[in-house]
A and B are shown apart, each in its own frame.
Chain A
Amino acid sequence: MDYQFPRQLFPSFYSCDPPNRVQRHSAGGWGCYHGVLAQGGTGSLSSWAFTSKQQLGGEVWRQTEPVPVPLLSPRKAFQEFLTPPDPLDFLKHMQNFYMDHGPDAFGCMSEILGENFYFKKAKVKEKYRKGSVNMWRTKCFVDQLKFNMCSMAYRSRSLNRYCSLLWDVVHDVPPELLGSLLHEELAEQRDRMQFSEAATGGALAFVPFSQGEGCLLYPGGPGMDRLNFHRVALERDGDACVDAGGRKPVGFQLKAPVRQISCGSRFGDSCVAVRTDHVCGVWGMREQEEPRLLQVVGTRAAASCVSVSPHILGEVLVASESGAANLWTVGRGMQEVRTEESNLYFNAKSSWRWCEFSAHPRVMLYADRTGVELTDFRVKLESNPSHTLFRISSTSDCQSGERLLLVRFLGDVHPFHHLLTTQHSAYIMDERFPGVPMLKWDHMMEAPPLFCHVAPGSASGTTKVLLGSQSSQEITLLQYSGGRVEACCSHGSPQVLLRPRDSLALLPVQIPHRQQTAAHRLASPAAGLTCLQKTSVSTATMIVLQLTAAGDVFYQILERDDRKPGAPETGPPETGAPETGAPETGARSPLLVAETSSDEDVVMPTQDPNAHTFVPETPDRNQSSDRLPDQVPAFVAVGNEADWSAPSVLSSATRHAWRRWLQKLRRREGKPGAPPHLAVRTAGLLSVAEPGAAGRHMQGALQQDLQRCMRTRSLLLNRDLDPVPVPPVVDTEAWCDPLSDRLTAAWRGGTEAWLEWWQEERGENRAMKKEALRRRRRREKEAQRAAGRHLRLSGSFTSSISYQTDVDDFSGWSSGTSGPLSDSQRSRPLGRLAAFLEGQDDSPPPDRLDPPSRTPEPQTANQRSCNLADQSLSSLWETQEDPPLHPAPSSSSSQLPSFTSLMPSKASQNQRGALQASQPKKKKSRMGF
């Protein structure tokens, strides 16, 4: 029963004193019950039950996605700066002023100096005036200044003259005055950026039609000056359905940005009032008919409020900043119902006024920043009997500095309730009991709430109050019940919904400059808020839509969770089980807008979202994640027990919608500010000669041949062209420089061969070779000993002779390997040599003084090794200009500069002896010995 008044109200003090409370903590109303009522006592203690004003359990509403989803594709929009202009950055702002308002700043002076300037093309200047500044050339020069150019190379004499003429120019507006005005303007801009009261009420509305259909009203266009009526269909449970009409939004171009949209419906007829700064318009709308403009009125002072009557269609209240409130009966005209030049209760220095209808069709609410009055406008203006509904006072437990921001009549929810918001709190007022708030919340929002939407609950459910702020894009969900038989009580604690500006963090990563563009776009302040409710048997759904100042509409879907909040989460709920299985079909996106082919189309996938019609935004994990489970972590849960709040998984439909949106945004925005450069026309600069007729014919024939060959998969043999001679076979022997050797080795044997060659080149295997040499010398010595003592002298002599052969052998060794030779190595020439040397160990020839000359078999090998050594040596010396006569000793020292350092320090005496033997210096001393 709507007319009932609560039997008991929660106790509270009443005082009209100005508020003096200062909140010193940031916890708002958390943790308090605020009061209790005793109920139902029949006598015994246990029969009494208590209800608190702040009840703990509310309905649990949970987002289905961790991010809000864009509804419309991004349009071109004028975006304000996110950071307010710095009033102290004075030079820049003065420069802007001079550039933008040149005639205002220098009008008089330019008339005086006008004859000294010459504005036509330069050639024939002398004929007219001498000594005048040529503005054409100057302008050309100034135009070029915006490119990055060398400031020293480009100079203009005429500009210099211009400067010397004008450096002490007299301003039309004295700089002092201009400065103070500018500072004031900038300060106001900053204030407006934090809080712009013109947007109060919000420019987003939804008019529901019959089952599952409705019309979404929002402003579009770059200046938010185009009013769009867009048909939307709420999807039926489970199956995705496309709007049958498929109509484009009906748009009306206005002359100023839309500030507020107010709707009222009765019996299928809807009335839409739209407020811009100085003009208000009313449109009529029905389900079957196109919206039509009914009447437009202008206001002298800026209009601050428009409000459609919920009782009688065609009655609209308009309040303006002059303090007047008018009743506008569409078709009949305006009637002034109240004027108030000052603020109602104290001087808040504000010209903001607001009007709302109340439960009685002839009583309205008249509000300003200090409070709300109920005004009966049947009575004459002079004897206005109005009484206070609300005032900033200590009764309502206001904080000092608190101001009223928004008033909304909640006719759909309760015929006598009004919602009031301030910077800190939200109040529910009952107009039957003026002066005392029925309910108060601390909404705990950072920025003042300027938009609200109230969704009535079902019979036993709670009423949902959504508050939206402007600059911070916050949306807060509050719940309350009661007001009829029971007193009002709030349920649960304030819940913050998702913001578009936070969503980028949860989406796949973008390339930084795109991320920046998108972040800037998403951070533009909110401009409206509305909510659609859909209740079915199993679930209740709320779709919260938010409009931003850039003209984007985002929505998020909330589902009521009927389980006990304490129950641990064990998989998806029973009702949602079939749905969660098929999110890819777009089943979880119940809001579908008619897809049109034009610019006005929407982002929502009406096609298969998995069909990648667009290239992926970044070569990121997006693609690979098609195979992996589609999960992007939304938040890092600290606890091991899952919280029952936002889901952490982006559905693929959402991600697809976002990807399309971001791509379209990028195309709209174009390339972000690359510095301008002077463009030089290059057409014809490097032109290829046009092929003649014959050439063109040949080209055609060739193409045909090519196609034919491709079809038959045969080789294209071009008969017409002259065959290019095959290059002659490469003779590797012709090149014998080290590089060629190296390359040859690399080509032949791959890495190992090349490594070998390189080791040889650097002499890294020298120690090994010396070891072999020493062994051989020992054998020779033993052979000499065996030959007899008479040969000792000659033996020592031969040993010095054999030195030369040693060196030869030594270089012959160079290609050998260190370990025991494998069979394949033995088969090679060098391998054979090594095998020969090994074989010497076993059977040393006793009587050989000069083994190379005596033994025929190894001679070939030795010769070969000599050849090799010669080759390598000659190749060495080829690079040098003056080859020495005895290359070996000097070559060993020049070729191996780090030889000594390569030797291990703890080498044995024997080895040192061998080393000394290989060094000619030492040999000399030995000869002396």
Chain B
Amino acid sequence: MEALDEYLGPPVVLEDESDSSDCSSRKRHKSKLPLAKSMCVEARVESGFHKTCRICLEHVREAMLHHRWQEAAEYMASYTQILEDRNKIKAQPHKELVWRISTEILHHLPNATVKDYNIIYEQMKHSGVKHYLMICLEHSFHLMLHGDIQAAKRQLSIAESWRHGKESVSQLPRIKLIQAYRSLLDYIMWCDKKSTLSINNSFESDNQGMHTFFRLAATNLQDILKNPGVWDPFILCYVEMLEYYGDNEEAQKVLNDYAYDNSFPPNPNAHVYLYQFLKRHDAPDKKLMKVLKHLHLLVPSHELMLAYSCLLLQSEKQSHTQKALGVLLEMLDFQCWRSNLDVWKCLHAVIHQLLQQEEWATSVQGQMALRNDWWPALHFTSFHAKKDLEENSELFKVKASLAEILCPGRPLRYTAETQMLTS
């Protein structure tokens, strides 16, 4: 019967159609997991050369996984002969492999020099078109991490101008990423110029140079922000430059798109950036509340929710007070806020404001009805009482005063502890 049920279930459109491994299955057959292929499989027909290389690679891998870098380096010195493989199709993945392994080994060898890195990056970069851009990008990351921003920018500029027919089309996302990182470096240069400008008053020429950097950066940044994705560092620098040149409208538009475009992932930072931007420009509370409302839907535990509840309380609308109650209660559902004094205090204020009027008192009951069966266990056990008393007696007082209101009609151990302690 069970098998039958499973069979009768609504057929789901197979999205993953390229997956051939699932095709063979009977109805009773449980899932057949496509297992990871073994890394170094012995080919059916393999030459002595390939066999040597395969065994060598196994040793390299083994040593690297056990973090025996010196040993891995010794083996790796021999493995590079795989690059002399004449078989073009087979050799391609090996090139990337050699690059990755050698870089990783260099990362962990104590006596690796900049020259070693340059040799690896430069040589492997030009060994094939497929991984040229990737190695360029990684090379520039390496240079950035070592503080050589100029060289990194040079690398990225070279990569940007690289064209290779179909390859450059298939690697479009990577090209965009390279452009974006180049713009990030432009922005850093721009900041550099800006700081020197503010120190030695304004020179027209310097201002010009700064503006060039801005223009260089802006076009690419605009471009990448059109693609759905997470672009936190890029949007921050773009907005900063726009704000510097007084183009607030554009900045707000960019931030709005980033936060509210549905094709983008629900990034909490997008809303945070928008909120911070609006706050910088003294936007009305209503606008701020709108942004925070969206953030509340996404991340009810966000730290800005405290600000949100304050805003709601300030706005003197009764419905807003009720909303604030909901926001605070939801914050307290989360473990990270459970022993936060500010939230409890805020909740205390809200509840007392609500209780002053008879008609709103029921709203507290309504909110708590959903939580009645698990809040006592979450907040008001005798263990919580003991812990709160030890760590923060003020918190204990606030919580104890609210316990009766939040969970009426339930004998709570939390308050029982109080009576025991006070008596």
User: Complex Cα distance A347/B11, Å?
Assistant: 8
Q: A8-B269, A346-B14, A637-B71 are in contact. Are A26 and B61 (CB under 8 A)?
A: yes
Q: Is the CB of A493 within 8 A of B36?
A: no
Q: A30-B103, A37-B233, A346-B15 are in contact. Are A341 and B299 (CB under 8 A)?
A: no
Residues of chain A within 8 A (CB-CB) of B44 are none
Contact of B265 among A350, A433, A448, A495 (CB under 8 A): A433
Selected A-B contacts with CB under 8 Å, 19 pairs? A4-B303, A7-B269, A14-B229, A31-B100, A31-B103, A45-B188, A50-B145, A195-B35, A312-B377, A314-B377, A341-B10, A346-B16, A359-B336, A369-B31, A432-B268, A433-B299, A434-B266, A495-B65, A643-B69
Chain B positions 1-59 with a Cβ under 8 Å from a chain A Cβ: 2, 5-6, 9-19, 21-22, 25-26, 28-36, 38-40, 57
Closest residue of chain B to A53 (Cβ to Cβ) is B141
Contact of B93 among A24, A476, A565, A566 (CB under 8 A): A24
Is A345 interfacial (CB 8 A cutoff)? yes
Closest residue of chain B to A13 (Cβ to Cβ) is B229
Q: A11-B229, A311-B335, A495-B67 are in contact. Are A197 and B36 (CB under 8 A)?
A: no
User: Complex Cα distance A744/B374, Å?
Assistant: 108
- Chain A proximity of B360: nearest CB distance (Å): 22
- Chain A proximity of B42: nearest CB distance (Å): 14
Work out how many contacts link A and B, with CB atoms closer than 8 A.
304
Q: Is the CB of B138 within 8 A of A27?
A: no
Q: CB-CB contacts of A603-642 with B at 8 A, as 1s and 0s? A: 0000000000000000000000000000000010111011
Chain B positions 164-194 with a Cβ under 8 Å from a chain A Cβ: 173, 177, 180-181, 184, 188-189, 191-192, 194
Closest residue of chain B to A350 (Cβ to Cβ) is B31
User: Complex Cα distance A54/B9, Å?
Assistant: 43
Q: Which of A439-447, A703-711, A838-846 contacts B (4 or more CB under 8 A)?
A: A439-447
User: Complex Cα distance A41/B147, Å?
Assistant: 12
Closest residue of chain B to A487 (Cβ to Cβ) is B232
Contact of B298 among A432, A476, A646 (CB under 8 A): A432
Is A5 interfacial (CB 8 A cutoff)? yes
Residues of chain A within 8 A (CB-CB) of B96 are 24-25, 27
Chain B positions 287-318 with a Cβ under 8 Å from a chain A Cβ: 298-303
Residues of chain B within 8 A (CB-CB) of A701 are none
Q: Is the CB of A12 within 8 A of B230?
A: yes
Residues of chain A within 8 A (CB-CB) of B67 are 60, 493, 495, 643-645
Chain A positions 760-807 with a Cβ under 8 Å from a chain B Cβ: none
Q: A2-B336, A18-B16 are in contact. Are A31 and B30 (CB under 8 A)?
A: no
Mostly helix, strand, loop or mixed at chain B's interface? Answer: helix
Is A411 interfacial (CB 8 A cutoff)? yes
User: Complex Cα distance A342/B34, Å?
Assistant: 19
Chain B positions 352-410 with a Cβ under 8 Å from a chain A Cβ: 370, 374, 377-378, 381, 383, 387
Is A32 interfacial (CB 8 A cutoff)? yes
Residues of chain B within 8 A (CB-CB) of A8 are 232-233, 236, 269
Is B216 interfacial (CB 8 A cutoff)? no
- Chain B proximity of A10: nearest CB distance (Å): 7
Is B132 interfacial (CB 8 A cutoff)? no
Q: Is the CB of B336 within 8 A of A25?
A: no
Q: Is the CB of A445 within 8 A of B14?
A: no
Is A250 interfacial (CB 8 A cutoff)? no
Q: A48-B149, A52-B145, A643-B70 are in contact. Are A346 and B303 (CB under 8 A)?
A: no
Contact of B230 among A1, A20, A60, A436 (CB under 8 A): A436
Q: A14-B265, A359-B334 are in contact. Are A36 and B108 (CB under 8 A)?
A: no
Residues of chain A within 8 A (CB-CB) of B230 are 9-12, 14, 436
Q: A13-B227, A341-B10, A361-B378 are in contact. Are A3 and B65 (CB under 8 A)?
A: no
Q: CB-CB contacts of A328-367 with B at 8 A, as 1s and 0s? A: 0000000000000111011111111000000111100000
Is A145 interfacial (CB 8 A cutoff)? no
User: Complex Cα distance A36/B35, Å?
Assistant: 32
With contacts A14-B228, A436-B265, A448-B33 known, what are 7 further pairs, Cβ within 8 A? Answer: A1-B336, A11-B234, A46-B147, A266-B383, A314-B377, A362-B333, A446-B39
- Chain A proximity of B195: nearest CB distance (Å): 3
Is A222 interfacial (CB 8 A cutoff)? no
Q: Is the CB of A33 within 8 A of B100?
A: no
Q: Is the CB of B25 within 8 A of A349?
A: yes
Q: Is the CB of B107 within 8 A of A18?
A: no
Q: Is the CB of B30 within 8 A of A197?
A: yes
Q: Is the CB of A3 within 8 A of B302?
A: yes
User: Complex Cα distance A11/B141, Å?
Assistant: 13
Is A714 interfacial (CB 8 A cutoff)? no
- Chain A proximity of B7: nearest CB distance (Å): 11
Q: Is the CB of A43 within 8 A of B10?
A: no
- Chain B proximity of A869: nearest CB distance (Å): 76
Contact of B264 among A14, A19, A32, A197 (CB under 8 A): A14
Is B213 interfacial (CB 8 A cutoff)? no
Closest residue of chain A to B9 (Cβ to Cβ) is A341
Q: Is the CB of A188 within 8 A of B374?
A: no
- Chain A proximity of B366: nearest CB distance (Å): 13
Mostly helix, strand, loop or mixed at chain A's interface? Answer: loop
Residues of chain A within 8 A (CB-CB) of B266 are 433-435
User: Complex Cα distance A785/B399, Å?
Assistant: 150
Is A35 interfacial (CB 8 A cutoff)? yes
Q: A48-B188, A448-B36, A494-B65 are in contact. Are A18 and B18 (CB under 8 A)?
A: yes
Is B223 interfacial (CB 8 A cutoff)? no
With most chain B CB atoms within 10 A of its CB, the pick from A24, A378, A567 is: A24
Is B104 interfacial (CB 8 A cutoff)? yes
Q: Is the CB of A3 within 8 A of B301?
A: yes
Q: A9-B230, A43-B195, A567-B110 are in contact. Are A645 and B66 (CB under 8 A)?
A: yes
Is B283 interfacial (CB 8 A cutoff)? no
Residues of chain B within 8 A (CB-CB) of A349 are 22, 25, 29, 31-32
Chain A positions 483-511 with a Cβ under 8 Å from a chain B Cβ: 493-496
Is B75 interfacial (CB 8 A cutoff)? yes
Is A392 interfacial (CB 8 A cutoff)? yes
Which 10 pairs across A and B sit closest by C-beta, in order of nearness?
A: A43-B195, A566-B110, A350-B31, A31-B103, A26-B39, A267-B383, A2-B336, A31-B100, A346-B15, A30-B104
Q: A423-B35, A643-B71 are in contact. Are A347 and B12 (CB under 8 A)?
A: yes
- Chain B proximity of A565: nearest CB distance (Å): 7
Q: Is the CB of B100 within 8 A of A38?
A: no
Contact of B145 among A9, A33, A405 (CB under 8 A): A33
Q: Is the CB of B334 within 8 A of A45?
A: no
Residues of chain A within 8 A (CB-CB) of B189 are 45
Is B73 interfacial (CB 8 A cutoff)? yes
Is A464 interfacial (CB 8 A cutoff)? no
Residues of chain B within 8 A (CB-CB) of A752 are none
User: Complex Cα distance A920/B19, Å?
Assistant: 105
Is B97 interfacial (CB 8 A cutoff)? yes
Is A400 interfacial (CB 8 A cutoff)? yes
Is B242 interfacial (CB 8 A cutoff)? no
Residues of chain A within 8 A (CB-CB) of B415 are none
- Chain A proximity of B187: nearest CB distance (Å): 8
Contact of A448 among B29, B35, B102 (CB under 8 A): B35
Q: Is the CB of B66 within 8 A of A496?
A: yes
Q: CB-CB contacts of B91-118 with A at 8 A, as 1s and 0s? A: 0111011011111100110110000000
- Chain B proximity of A416: nearest CB distance (Å): 8
Chain B positions 122-176 with a Cβ under 8 Å from a chain A Cβ: 138, 141-142, 144-145, 147, 149, 173
User: Complex Cα distance A301/B234, Å?
Assistant: 50
Is B231 interfacial (CB 8 A cutoff)? yes
- Chain A proximity of B121: nearest CB distance (Å): 10
Q: Is the CB of A11 within 8 A of B21?
A: no
Is B337 interfacial (CB 8 A cutoff)? yes
Q: Is the CB of A3 within 8 A of B334?
A: yes
Residues of chain B within 8 A (CB-CB) of A565 are 108, 110
Residues of chain A within 8 A (CB-CB) of B256 are none
Closest residue of chain A to B10 (Cβ to Cβ) is A342
Is A275 interfacial (CB 8 A cutoff)? no
Contact of A43 among B14, B192, B272 (CB under 8 A): B192
Residues of chain B within 8 A (CB-CB) of A2 are 335-336
